[in-house]
Chains A and B, each alone.
Chain A
Amino acid sequence: MRSNQVAVVGAAETTELGVIPNASQLQLHADAALNAIADAGLKLSDIDGFATAVETPQQVCHYLGIKPTWVDGTSVGGCSFMLHVRHAAAAIEAGLCKTVLITHAESGKSMIGKAPRSIPADSLQGQFEAPYGVYGPPSMFPIPVLRFMKTYGITHEQLASVAVVQREWAAKNPRAMMKDPITIADVLNSRMIAYPFRLLQCCLVTDGGGALILTSADRARDFPRKPVYIMGTGESVETPMVSQMETFNSSRAFKTAGPLAFREAGIAHKDVDHLMIYDAFAHLPLFGLGDLGFMPHEETGKFIADGNTRPGGKLPLNTNGGGLSYMHSGMYGMYALQESVRQMRGIAPAQVPNATISVCHGVGGMFAASGTIVFTNER
């Protein structure tokens, strides 16, 4: 795909984030969509392309009254929205549609109008993982951590520092769920969830949503907001079974999607002003920094513990507070994209001064899938 041919011209989250007991998951999609439409200065009837995950495109389109000529229901977990951005950019370039709306919403905490996740007993996961006591992401996602730590000499303190640093960012963000400062000791003394991870190394569980509107870069100039261009994109999947990853020392999906996006954007790592790495759990930023090629995996723990990703550091990372402190409805990728767009618009609560390139990297499932978007505000 060619760089900077398509732009984000509308971006918004749900009116509220956190605990939203007065709206169903479907209504949260609509709330986010209507906010994004207003942000872009559009009408619903202007939307001719639509993408969403978990809920079907037909469900959300009917609810909103959208009549699309292009839809994408790619649903690969929390990074689905990165893949939607990539697919939408390709569709707009190919002339299949002009204005794409991407929505995410999840009643992850209140569970209103949300189907429970289940593992069929005759699926491969149901036969070869579920019988061993896996029960939700906290029991599965950290399974690679001990091997990763041993291979690269990563310490428990370094993995705790991920949560500490992200809380520093969250403190600057009025919409973040958790804003009180925490220390390494707080993290290492918090309730054990699945050794080696404790409560403060696991994502929040919240309600919320977000929506993006994309159109061609040529049209983007006429919109009220500063356009944020799609500079590079990548995607991949590996396996729905964490036990079957090629290795626990890296993520094959990360190593495919990330470099693909960098190559397409034609950028080097030193060009990156702002970085989002989907942090459902504290090890993901370490995998991401290594697999995206910012540094050898061995250096990732020390890099974060030394403060390089905190406010004022040389590589601002997860500047909304991340899934650990900002919000995590279950599929966090949309919120990472929203923060990248805010940073590129120059309106983020913890704005990185003069940032022109933002990399937004997502994960789906337990390293099952990945999507990477490189954004820029310069064309």
Chain B
Amino acid sequence: MAEPQRARPKPTPETQHFWDGTKAGELRLQRCDACAHVYFPPRPFCPSCASRKVSIFKASGKGFLYSYVINHRPAAPGFTPPYAIAVVELDEGPRMMSNIIDCPQTPEALELDMKLEVAFEALDDKITLPVFRPAKG
């Protein structure tokens, strides 16, 4: 029997640019051309002012650790507990769920507000997940 796999995202027409971006090593966000609001997750209009004039741009990939849990049980398929499920606040404003790599999965190592930078983890030839690691320097 095959090993249970980590849940795989299935892009929709509205999110395809995001997943194209991660595959190309870019974290892409959207900004409203009318009110400059930066938002996530992707959609072809501004959730702040409803304008349909929005642009896709490459985010800095920098942010900080907003909050997290360290999940012990039950573990999701494809994960070995304990593992942190984090929420990262990006320098551009939006927050996203992620995992923290290159860091012990402990309360001592995972300090709230620690600076993070994006990294990319290819799940297969279609999907690359953005994850985060402690920022260097």
A192 and B75 alpha carbons, distance in the complex (Å): 12
Q: Are B112 and A146 in contact (CB under 8 A)?
A: yes
A243 and B41 alpha carbons, distance in the complex (Å): 10
Where the two chains meet, the residues of A that have a C-beta atom closer than 8 Å to any C-beta of B are 119-122, 124, 126-136, 138-140, 142-147, 150, 191-197, 241-244, 248
Q: Are A121 and B8 in contact (CB under 8 A)?
A: yes
Return the CB mask of B77-118 against A: 1 if under 8 Å, else 0: 111001101110000000111110000000100001000000
* Contact for B74 among A128, A129, A136, A142, CB less than 8 A: A136
Q: Which residue of B lies closest to A136 (CB)?
A: B74
Known pairs A131-B7, A131-B129; A248 contacts B73 (CB<8 A): no
Known pairs A129-B97, A133-B83, A139-B85; A145 contacts B67 (CB<8 A): yes
A243 and B68 alpha carbons, distance in the complex (Å): 10
Give the 7 A-B CB pairs with smallest separation, nearest first: A135-B76, A127-B9, A147-B67, A195-B70, A130-B7, A243-B97, A122-B10
Q: Are A135 and B8 in contact (CB under 8 A)?
A: no
Q: Which residue of B lies closest to A134 (CB)?
A: B85
* Contact for B71 among A135, A191, A244, CB less than 8 A: A135
Q: Which residue of B lies closest to A148 (CB)?
A: B67
A119 and B10 alpha carbons, distance in the complex (Å): 11
Residues of chain B contacted by A130 (CB below 8 angstroms): 7, 9, 76
Interface size for chain B: under 10, 10 to 19, 20 to 34, or 35 or more residues?
Answer: 35 or more
Residues of chain B contacted by A194 (CB below 8 angstroms): 69-72, 85
Give the number of residue pairs across the A-B interface with Cβ within 8 Å. 123
Let me know if B120 is at the binding interface, CB within 8 A. no
A143 and B107 alpha carbons, distance in the complex (Å): 13
Instruction: Pull 20 A–B residue pairs with CB atoms less than 8 Å apart, ordered by A.
Output: A121-B7, A121-B9, A122-B9, A122-B10, A126-B10, A127-B9, A127-B11, A127-B15, A128-B96, A130-B7, A133-B76, A134-B76, A135-B71, A135-B75, A135-B77, A139-B71, A192-B82, A194-B69, A194-B70, A244-B95
A191 and B71 alpha carbons, distance in the complex (Å): 12
Known pairs A128-B96, A135-B74, A244-B95; A197 contacts B69 (CB<8 A): yes
Residues of chain A contacted by B71 (CB below 8 angstroms): 133-135, 138-139, 194
In the complex, how many angstroms separate the beta carbon of B46 from the nearest chain A beta carbon? 15
A82 and B72 alpha carbons, distance in the complex (Å): 33
* Contact for A127 among B10, B77, B82, CB less than 8 A: B10
Residues of chain A contacted by B123 (CB below 8 angstroms): 131
Let me know if B6 is at the binding interface, CB within 8 A. yes
In the complex, how many angstroms separate the beta carbon of B117 from the nearest chain A beta carbon? 17
Residues of chain A contacted by B45 (CB below 8 angstroms): none
Identify whether the interface residues of B are mostly helix, strand, loop, or mixed: loop
In the complex, how many angstroms separate the beta carbon of A10 from the nearest chain B beta carbon? 38
Residues of chain B contacted by A128 (CB below 8 angstroms): 9, 41, 96-97
Residues of chain A contacted by B12 (CB below 8 angstroms): 122, 127
Residues of chain A contacted by B7 (CB below 8 angstroms): 119, 121, 126, 130-131
Known pairs A133-B75, A139-B71, A243-B97; A150 contacts B112 (CB<8 A): yes
Residues of chain A contacted by B69 (CB below 8 angstroms): 139, 142-143, 145-146, 194-197
A88 and B112 alpha carbons, distance in the complex (Å): 44
Identify whether the interface residues of A are mostly helix, strand, loop, or mixed: mixed
Interface centre among A120, A131, A242 (most CB of B within 10 A): A131
Add 15 more A-B contacts to A121-B10, A127-B11, A138-B74 (CB < 8 A).
Answer: A121-B7, A127-B19, A128-B9, A130-B7, A132-B97, A133-B75, A133-B78, A135-B79, A138-B71, A138-B73, A139-B85, A143-B87, A146-B69, A194-B70, A248-B66
Residues of chain B contacted by A127 (CB below 8 angstroms): 9-12, 15, 19, 41
Residues of chain A contacted by B40 (CB below 8 angstroms): 244
In the complex, how many angstroms separate the beta carbon of B112 from the nearest chain A beta carbon? 5
Known pairs A133-B85, A147-B112; A243 contacts B95 (CB<8 A): yes
A130 and B107 alpha carbons, distance in the complex (Å): 22
Residues of chain A contacted by B129 (CB below 8 angstroms): 131-132
Known pairs A127-B15, A134-B97, A147-B112; A195 contacts B72 (CB<8 A): yes
Q: Are B68 and A143 in contact (CB under 8 A)?
A: yes
Interface centre among A126, A132, A195 (most CB of B within 10 A): A132
A124 and B42 alpha carbons, distance in the complex (Å): 9
Residues of chain B contacted by A196 (CB below 8 angstroms): 69, 107
A44 and B8 alpha carbons, distance in the complex (Å): 47
In the complex, how many angstroms separate the beta carbon of A167 from the nearest chain B beta carbon? 22
Known pairs A126-B10, A127-B9, A131-B8; A143 contacts B85 (CB<8 A): yes
